[in-house]
A and B are shown apart, each in its own frame.
Chain A
Amino acid sequence: MAGSGTVQLRDDADVLLRVENLVMEFPVGRHQVVHAVSDVSFDVRRGETLGIVGESGCGKSTTARALVQLPRPTSGRVILDPGSDLEIDMTTLSGSSLRQVRPRMQMIFQDPISSLNPRRRVRDIVGEGLVIWQDDKGGSSTRARVDEVLNAVGIEPEVAADRRPHEFSGGQCQRISIARAVAIEPEILICDEPVSALDVSVQAQILNILEDMKARYGLTLVFISHDLSVVRNVSDRVVVMYLGKICEIGGADTLYLEPAHPYTRVLLASAPEPAATVDPSDAAIGDEIPSPINPPSGCRFRTRCPRAADRCASEEPQMRAVGDDHFVACHFPTLA
């Protein structure tokens, strides 16, 4: 699947973040290149949650990191406030000008324990961004803000702020990570598999906290996960990725009710309790994802696709609309 094109981009004033033709390649060995992300375009409206879903190796984490220029993408643009007077293309910035923009985006990672410095106290971890960015330098307003965000994620500052990360469970560490991320009032929160390492009971707590943070601080979320049920629950709009390309973009409920890409159907049918809108036999594809060093010609999903035909090998499908705010890159979509 997996196609290129930019028809899915929306042209309105509400768009906060736009990614155009993002390409991320890493050199490996002699004259070989890993095509981790190849020509991906999407946008996120202010206050929206965009979910990115796909198997391991589909480029979803690489995409997330490219948004904050870690590292800088091979080509393509990452634009904040597109179309407005304040438009900034992050890929053109470097040094101090990039530093000035970065506080607008914060990240939360999969492993909450390894993303907190074990030698520092919770108060210092959560307040570090404030100390760096505020004139107050750790004074009373920093303390007040740290207390506020810790309370907001359900951690009692009086009890917890002077402890170190090893004294907390994984779920509590993830709450602290969230508090740290929202402390400096970012506009965009990028969550890379934030619940994959957590117990089921804790997963719901964290997902609910993210929803609360969004309402409380007016955040825009980019949420990455391999679990379609989780992505559907938190997202307004979902991007399905496969081997560095976008397969399908649409509303979270639309994708579930009217999946158009054969790969989206595979994901829906593979859930432990398969979606009722697809046939369980749709899950019948091979295990093996082709190598991103040498991806298949044409549509990258064709080697595992039940609908693949000759055309899929010769011609790469372009993104096209199949419904209201519903786009798919497939020569033979399963609807319309």
Chain B
Amino acid sequence: MAVTDGSPLLSVSDLRVGFATERGLVRAVDGVSFDLAAGRTLGIVGESGSGKSVTAKTIMNLLPSYARVEGSVTFDGRDVRALASSGARHFWGVEMTMVFQDPMTSLNPVKKVGEQIAESLRVHLKRSRKEARDEAGDLLEQVGIPEPRKRLTQYPHELSGGLRQRVVIAMALACSPRLLIADEPTTALDVTVQKHILDLLDGLREERGMAMILITHDLGVVRGRADDIMVMYAGRTMEQADTDTLFSEMRHPYTEALLETIPRIDMPSHSRLVPIPGRPPDVIEVSTGCPFAPRCRSCTDVCLTERPTLDEQGHGHVCACHGPVGTDVGAMARSANEASGVTPAGLDMAAFGSAGVEAGDGS
């Protein structure tokens, strides 16, 4: 299904994004690289603050001017950052578009839906008013909105959350983009609508041969929908592989923790969840060692002092960990921590079981 002619459509290489703040430089993205071919979907997964949205905004040239960007982003052989400085108007929103989490804030509340979709057609593709209006109707039909012609004259507040997100997708598709970035497109929506929107995006990607980046905090959402998955933490790539490999040969303890922490619908009632203790690190200090070490079950002494490199595990599967899951080193590190009750980072192993509370005492 993937259309690969050797060179990827999008290529991100050693991307670093920093923001200068009063407290120091925030390293939001710290050396991320990936390739994406036409027709394929990359899932980027991680907690809040892991740098996934900043990565997307860098690609889309949506960062504020004070952001410090290093590294390269190439789209179809062109340097995206050079395009940005030359002020290329008809690139973003035409060849590359983005769908955001909250459909209400992506739409202009005082403009009719039809005008908002037609706007990009008129500006970028120089369509006449009537042509643009007709095309907007067709687009609404493609994204599965009932009575599309009637909706053109409605305002965003007259539509439900699911319909608004469909309108936003229609706007994103207006100029037939070759890359669509969807940043948590369904987080604000009901489960029933979430499935429809994800199915819709997947169908459109296949129909139009678009490349897609799907950003989410839920591994369940990208499983079965993304071709490749990149797991991010503290601005870095922790693990990256094609979806089947990632789930069958999961290597990074963070990926494992992300999967175990979500209650799954097939788990019996009152199954104890495995939390990820603590919270994501401040990315202000230059840390030595692995950023996940303070929250990791398999943490060893070397994790605290030496930054793990992103190593090849075979078949394009990369992982940055000193003691990967499923290896002898990793298993030994974990059982040593379990035996001593505390990890080298000073984390009480009980935090993975009872969240630091003596459950049930006194009852």
Residue ranges of A at the interface with B (Cβ–Cβ < 8 Å): 55-56, 152-154, 169, 171, 199-205, 207-209, 211-212, 215-216, 218, 226-230, 232-236, 251-253, 256, 266-276, 283, 285, 287-289
Contact = CB atoms under 8 A, between A and B. Distances in A.
Contacts of A267: 191-192
A216 B192 contact: no
Interface string B217-229: 1101101100000
B219 to A, nearest CB: 9
Contact of B265 (A56, A171, A229): A229
B355 A272 contact: no
B363 interface: yes
A209 B356 CA distance: 9
Given A199-B48, A216-B360, A287-B160, A271 B277 contact: no
Contacts of A152: 357
Interface string B335-358: 000000000000000000011110
Contacts of B266: 256, 275-276
B359 interface: yes
The prevalent SS among residues of A at the interface is: helix
Contacts of A209: 355, 357
Contacts of B286: none
A218 B363 contact: yes
A204 B274 contact: yes
Given A56-B190, A273-B224, A283 B195 contact: yes
Interface string B154-176: 00000011110000000000000
Interface residues of B, number: 49
B263 A229 contact: yes
B265 A200 contact: no
Contacts of B355: 154, 205, 208-209, 212
Given A215-B363, A229-B265, A272 B220 contact: yes
Interface stretch (B53-61, B117-125, B254-262, B298-306): B254-262
B360 A204 contact: no
B265 A268 contact: yes
Q: Which 9 pairs of residues, A with B, have the shortest CB-CB distance?
A: A272-B220, A201-B276, A252-B269, A204-B273, A204-B275, A233-B263, A287-B162, A205-B275, A229-B265
Nearest to B186: A272
Contacts of A56: 161, 190
Given A200-B258, A202-B279, A271-B265, A212 B194 contact: no
Contacts of A234: 269-270
Nearest to B225: A272
B12 interface: no
Contact of B192 (A201, A215, A270, A275): A270
Given A169-B279, A230-B263, 12 more contacts: A154-B356, A171-B279, A208-B354, A215-B363, A229-B267, A232-B267, A252-B269, A256-B265, A272-B194, A287-B162, A288-B146, A289-B160
Contact of A154 (B192, B220, B264, B357): B357
Contacts of A216: 357, 359-363
A227 B265 CA distance: 9
Contact of A270 (B194, B261, B268): B194
24 contacts: A153-B357, A199-B217, A200-B218, A200-B261, A201-B261, A205-B355, A207-B273, A209-B355, A211-B359, A215-B363, A216-B360, A218-B363, A229-B265, A233-B273, A236-B270, A270-B191, A271-B265, A272-B218, A273-B224, A273-B264, A275-B265, A276-B266, A287-B162, A288-B163
Nearest to B272: A208
B139 to A, nearest CB: 17
A138 B267 CA distance: 44
B311 to A, nearest CB: 25
Contacts of B220: 271-273
Nearest to A255: B269
Interface string B193-209: 11110000000000000
Nearest to A237: B269
Contact of A203 (B224, B261, B361): B261
Contact of B279 (A201, A228, A233): A201
A233 B192 contact: no
Given A201-B257, A204-B274, A236-B269, A287 B359 contact: no
Contact of B359 (A200, A215, A230, A236): A215
B85 interface: no
Nearest to A267: B191
Contact of A200 (B47, B196, B357): B47
Contacts of B86: none
B268 A201 contact: no
B271 interface: yes
A288 B193 CA distance: 9
Contacts of A236: 269-270
A201 B258 contact: yes
Contacts of A230: 263
B270 A211 contact: yes
B195 A270 contact: yes
Given A256-B265, A287-B162, A55 B274 contact: no
Given A201-B261, A205-B275, A272 B363 contact: no
A22 B193 CA distance: 28
A207 to B, nearest CB: 6
Nearest to B45: A200
Contacts of A256: 265-266
Interface string B137-163: 000000000100000000000001111
